[in-house]
Structure 1
Amino acid sequence: MTADAHTTWRTALDRRARGGVRERLRHPVRTSFPTTGNLRARRHRGIGGSSTALTFWGQRMTIALPEEVSISIHRHGFVDYDLTAYLLDHLPSGATVLDVGAHIGYYTMLASALVGPQGTVVSFEPTPSTLSVLRENAARRPNTTVVPAAVWSERDELVFHDHGLGYSAYNSAFQARLPEAVRVRLPSNELKVEAVCLDDYVREHGLVADFVKIDAESAEAHVLSGMRGMLAIQRPTLSLEVGDLDVAGAPRSRELVDTVLAAGYRAWELRRGQPVPHVPLAVYGYQNLIFTPAGRKDG
């Protein structure tokens, strides 16, 4: 990615985020449920299908309406201003990126564009409905590989809760990360999915990761357990989704933060896309934290 392209893309992102949209879209999946009564009814009935949208950097992307990440991309061209802006500023050409919980592929496509033809993006997504959309998007990016699996602490087969395309951002081996009043009304089907661990995967494929994005819907502790070797030796930068929603069987976010800090990392929170030193909290609302190996000057 050239300096001119970076400036153009950052200008486009900030233009889309202007006028208060940035804060409103901090994470639309978590903060805008439901978008409208009509969309809520359509999601509950499983009505929807694929469409296309234009990302803020000008690339066509397959989306899955009325799923809410897709709505955000369709309306605004991006999801989560803070993490998007951070990647624009910190993900270099030629980097190797692992996208854990790739969903329909927004961050996969953004990372692919940023790292360029000399870089590599590997995307992990287990749910068939979102996997099909992700594959369509990844097919346009020759530097991208899709792995049809969840990421876990070891190679395994998991029972996954599939909430349909409209609620696919919440598919998980755990309960949906939503308030209980919403959770009980979700459609849900169980399916078995393959799971891999990152230490095994990078060893078997000869990869050295520079950046790992983790959005694993309450499985973050398992993901971290399965990449202990990477944290000790490869030392990639991480983005980690946190947020305490009292999901049965999932540790509180503070435990996740402490796990990464104990591996010799520093924690950063994002403010308008810029990393600021993070002081661990007892309880977390939704955010993406950045972790860099101790010794680096900044995030």
Structure 2
Amino acid sequence: MRQTILSFLRRATGTAQLRQQVVLLEEEVARLLQAPRGQATSPSNPALERLARHADFPLQAWWERSLWEPVVQLAVRDHVRPGDIAFDVGANAGAFAMQMSRQAGPRGTICAFEASPRIIGRTQHNLLQAACHNVTLYHRAIWHRSGDFVHIAEGSHLNDRVESGAGGIPVPTLALDDFIAATGLMPSFIKMDIEGAELDALRGSPRLIAEGRPIMALEQAPDDMRCHELLTAAGYLAVDLGSYKRITRGEDFANPTGVNNVLFVPEEQTAASPYFDSRQELVAKLEAGAFTRDAAGGARLAQPMELPAGRYLVRADFSAQGRDNEVYAGVDADGETVFRYHTFTAFMAECYRDWVVQLDRPGRIEPFLRFLNGRDATLDWRGAEVIRLPAFDSVAPPLVF
């Protein structure tokens, strides 16, 4: 049995990184197989534990609802259609590549790029588990030029980033213009979230931006508008996917700190885009008294609110200062969570009080904030507004998913 396992692992090697992982796995397999029957064992090598656990941060099954960055999911939902070419730059665990794969279908092509040596195994595992046959995964750092090497610093979560002086195995760089020239694949939609390297990636894409004119969903910090300046100079307009508010300067963001997901659309396409229709209709103003409060201080709408199908912005009104707790906040519809953020109350109050909900059928909604751990005596829950976005009434959902 031992020889069969080790022989399979050796045949699977193809890069220095994989060989390193295989050596670690061989050592652990040998140790486990030599342990007396029934004896408890645990990984003795921290590097093995970090590299080998591909099931860490598993994704939901493709037929189940995903709550992974729901505002970006809606942008993918609205822009990737059967037969499309789409890029997922910074694929992370693979959630958006999976979504793009299902929406683009058998005639579509999805190119996913993940630079982190620590994360790439998880990405590969999840995409294979979901049978994403139309996705090709590339272990490259998208950069302003091809052929360089960068080092990736490990983040506190799955948020590894390019960092000068970081250790580990160097990762080759790739400019998107070079990739497109080599493959002939010009995307109509790009999701890009590469932990601060977005500007370098855009600098390596002048032909893509000028000729391909893809719609892009980028992560951006309000205090760093360089990506915004580059793309607006190229004829793009921007909208905050968290609040559906036009962004022309840093002060336009609803949350002044952290990062935001921004949709950039070529100006010539904005007339037909519901994201640039400024109509917002107030449906209801729910006062604090309309919510029940639990023992930990969480809030939930006491009587579910009936809404027709459509897209809504639920704008929660609360303040909080707690940092030693853990909360879920979002919206349930007909007993199922359809939108959810997950953090601590101070950060939630500062950055995540706008919740975008898509109802594909009439439903009974319940906005909520629920403590998972701890509590917050400073939480001041003042209620919520429910706002309808009528421009999205004409946007058809994906035909298949």
Fold shared per TM-score above 0.5: yes
**Deviation string for 1:137-172 (max 9, x for gaps)?**
3332111101110000001333323327x6332332
The residue number in structure 2 matching 1:50 is 54
How much has 1:192 moved relative to structure 2?
A: 0.6
CA contact (8 A) 1:124 1:151 kept: yes
Is 2:194 the counterpart of 1:216?
yes
CA contact (8 A) 1:162 1:191 kept: no
**Counterpart among 136, 148, 159 of residue 150 in structure 2:** 159
> Using the alignment, how far apart are the partners of 2:72 and 2:174 within structure 1?
25
Question: What amino acid maps onto 1:58 in structure 2?
Answer: W
Count of aligned positions: 217
> Using the alignment, how far apart are the partners of 1:82 and 1:267 within structure 2?
15
The residue number in structure 1 matching 2:233 is 262
**Counterpart among 116, 120, 133 of residue 127 in structure 1:** 116
Question: What amino acid maps onto 1:218 in structure 2?
Answer: G
- Secondary structure, counterpart of 1:142 in structure 2: coil
Q: Which has the larger radius of gyration?
A: 2
**Residues 127, 279 of structure 1: alpha-carbon distance in 2 compared, 3 angstrom cutoff:** same
The residue number in structure 2 matching 1:228 is 206
Question: What amino acid maps onto 1:295 in structure 2?
Answer: E
**Deviation string for 1:47-102 (max 9, x for gaps)?**
5633374537526xxxxxxxxxxxxxxxx832111111222223212111111111
Q: Considering fraction of residues, name the structure with more helix.
A: 1
Q: How does 1:139-178 map to 2 (within 5 A)?
A: 139=128, 140-163=131-154, 167-173=157-163
> Using the alignment, how far apart are the partners of 2:246 and 2:112 within structure 1?
28
Structure 2: segments with no counterpart, 5+ residues: 1-45, 276-401
Supply the RMSD in Å over aligned alpha carbons.
2.5
- Secondary structure, counterpart of 1:285 in structure 2: coil
CA contact (8 A) 1:162 1:168 kept: no
Q: How does 1:185-224 map to 2 (within 5 A)?
A: 189-224=167-202
Identity %: 25
**Counterpart among 236, 258, 270 of residue 285 in structure 1:** 258
The residue number in structure 2 matching 1:8 is none
> Using the alignment, how far apart are the partners of 2:59 and 2:152 within structure 1?
30
**Counterpart among 95, 99, 114 of residue 106 in structure 1:** 95
**Residues 224, 129 of structure 1: alpha-carbon distance in 2 compared, 3 angstrom cutoff:** same
Question: What amino acid maps onto 1:279 in structure 2?
Answer: T
CA contact (8 A) 2:87 2:111 kept: yes
CA contact (8 A) 2:151 2:164 kept: yes
How much has 1:219 moved relative to structure 2?
A: 0.9
**Deviation string for 1:23-50 (max 9, x for gaps)?**
xxxxxxxxxxxxxxxxxxxxxx775633
> Using the alignment, how far apart are the partners of 1:102 and 1:54 within structure 2?
13
> Using the alignment, how far apart are the partners of 2:194 and 2:66 within structure 1?
23
Compare relative contact order (CA 8 Å, sep 6+) and give the higher one, 1 or 2.
1
**Deviation string for 1:174-220 (max 9, x for gaps)?**
69xxxxxxxxxxxx743311000000101110111101111111111
**Deviation string for 1:208-234 (max 9, x for gaps)?**
110111111111111000011110001
Q: TM-score, normalised by structure 1?
A: 0.66
> Using the alignment, how far apart are the partners of 1:155 and 1:86 within structure 2?
29
Question: What amino acid maps onto 1:292 in structure 2?
Answer: V
**Deviation string for 1:101-130 (max 9, x for gaps)?**
111211111111111111111011122221
> Using the alignment, how far apart are the partners of 1:167 and 1:295 within structure 2?
38
> Using the alignment, how far apart are the partners of 1:206 and 1:161 within structure 2?
29
Question: What amino acid maps onto 2:205 in structure 1?
Answer: M
The residue number in structure 1 matching 2:10 is none
How much has 1:236 moved relative to structure 2?
A: 0.4
CA contact (8 A) 2:141 2:150 kept: no
> Using the alignment, how far apart are the partners of 1:56 and 1:85 within structure 2?
18
CA contact (8 A) 1:154 1:197 kept: yes
- Secondary structure, counterpart of 1:208 in structure 2: coil
- Secondary structure, counterpart of 2:83 in structure 1: coil
